Each structure stands twice: as C-alpha cells, then as structure tokens.
C-alpha cells in the first residue's frame, strides 16, 4: 500500500470535527450539557488552528534540505 505524507493540519481538522460531533451526541443523549455556542465556536477555532498549522508545516517542508 502506498504511504501518504503526514499532514498535521488534516489531523487537527479531523480531531476538531470528532470533538464537536461527540459533544453534540453527548448533549443529545443528555449525558453532557454544554451551551450550543461553545460547540459552534470550536469549529472556526479548530479550522483557524488547522490553517496556521498548514502554513507552518508548508514553511518547514519548503525550507528543509532536499536530502532529508
């Protein structure tokens, strides 16, 4: 199987989606009560963090010597 390059920005975006989805499921089941605006706020914060991570990762990859 072909190996895919590691992309930390996708990891952060995926973890954000999992956390928000889990929060909504737990709220719907009545196990965990949280104000809805906190879960909605987590989405843009996670995407912003993912974007910053992607920019930093691209800069690191671009400036890395070709041999490593």
Distances (CA, A) of 40 to 4, 28, 46: 31, 15, 10
**pLDDT one-digit tens code per residue, 5-27:** 889 999 999 999 999 999 999 99
Find the length of the chain.
68
Confidence of residue 63 (pLDDT cuts 50, 70, 90): confident
Nearest Cα residue to 14 out of 66, 53, 56? 53
Rounded to two decimals, the pTM is: 0.79
> Residue 43 contacts by C-beta under 8 Å, 6 or more apart in sequence?
16, 20
Confidence of residue 53 (pLDDT cuts 50, 70, 90): very high
Q: How far apart are CA 68 and CA 65, in angstroms?
A: 6
């Amino acid at each position: 199987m072909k190996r895919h390059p590691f992309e930390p920005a996708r990891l952060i975006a995926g973890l954000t989606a999992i956390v928000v989805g889990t929060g909504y499921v737990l709220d719907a089941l009545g196990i965990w009560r949280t104000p809805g605006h906190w879960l909605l706020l987590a989405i843009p914060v996670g995407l912003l963090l993912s974007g910053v991570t992607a920019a930093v990762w691209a800069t690191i990859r671009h400036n890395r010597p070709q041999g490593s």
